[in-house]
Each structure stands twice: as C-alpha cells, then as structure tokens.
Amino acid sequence: MGTTKTEIYTEEQNRLASLLKVLAHPARIAILQYIIDQKACICNDLVDELGLAQATISQHLKELKSSGIIQGSVEGKSVCYCIDEKVWKQFQLHFNGFFNQDVKIDRCC
C-alpha cells in the first residue's frame, strides 16, 4: 500500500505526472526562475537567494538535474547550472499538449 499503481496508467500519463511532480515544489520553481533570470548560477547563489540549507538546495538541484531540465558543468570548485534548452522545449510540448487542448463542456453541471 502507499505506492502509486503505475501499471494501470498509460506511458504518457505516467510521464506527464512525473514531469509535473518535479516542478510541483515552490523551491524548485524558485530555483528554475532564478536560473532563467540569471541565465545560470551556482549552488551557493541559491543558498543565499532562498533561505534553505546547502544540503537542501543540492537535493533539489539533483532532482531537477535528473529530470534533465537543468544541466550542471563543473567549473573549478563550483558547478554551473543552467537550463537545458532542448529539454525545456520538450517539457513545453508535453505541457501544452495537455493544458492547451480545448475543453468543450456540452452536458452536465
């Protein structure tokens, strides 16, 4: 019990839900927005910008990175994170496919 029954859904449903889950946390939204605004940043910038512990920021970055939406490249002692434009555009396609379908109500409610 307690586990999502992924077998019963389509691949697309699981995939979309899992992409949404990555973004469904204010810290990750804030991190993404910061990276977008600043073009790129390092972990410490985010520790200063948001009020979270370094371990916590690092964990959120890991999650964003493993989804592919950001990428990190080692630069000396620090790691430079930025948006992966290709993946970002794939995300857009997925989201737009779902959210921008037209919803016609013609019976009930």
Which option in DNA, a second copy, none does residue 95 bind, with CB closer than 5 to 8 A by kind?
A: a second copy
Nearest distance from C-beta of residue 5 to a second copy, angstroms: 7
Say if CB 55 and CB 10 are below 8 A apart: no
CA dihedral 95→23→33→84, nearest 10 degrees, is -70
Residue type, 31: I
Instruction: Determine, following the binding rule CB under 7 A, whether residue 54 of this chain makes contact with DNA.
Output: yes
Nearest distance from C-beta of residue 82 to DNA, angstroms: 12
Which option in a second copy, DNA, none does residue 44 bind, with CB closer than 5 to 8 A by kind?
A: DNA
Which option in DNA, a second copy, none does residue 60 bind, with CB closer than 5 to 8 A by kind?
A: DNA
Among the candidate windows 29-37, 53-61, 89-97, 100-108, which touches DNA by CB under 7 A?
A: 53-61
Which option in DNA, a second copy, none does residue 93 bind, with CB closer than 5 to 8 A by kind?
A: none
Half-sphere exposure of 100 (CA within 13 A, CB side): 6
Instruction: Determine, following the binding rule CB under 7 A, whether residue 21 of this chain makes contact with DNA.
Output: yes
| Residue-wise DSSP of 10-51 | -HHHHHHHHHHHHH-SHHHHHHHHHHHHHS-EEHHHHHHHS-
Nearest distance from C-beta of residue 41 to a second copy, angstroms: 9
Residue 85 burial by Cβ neighbours in a 10 Å radius (0-12, 13-18, 19+): exposed
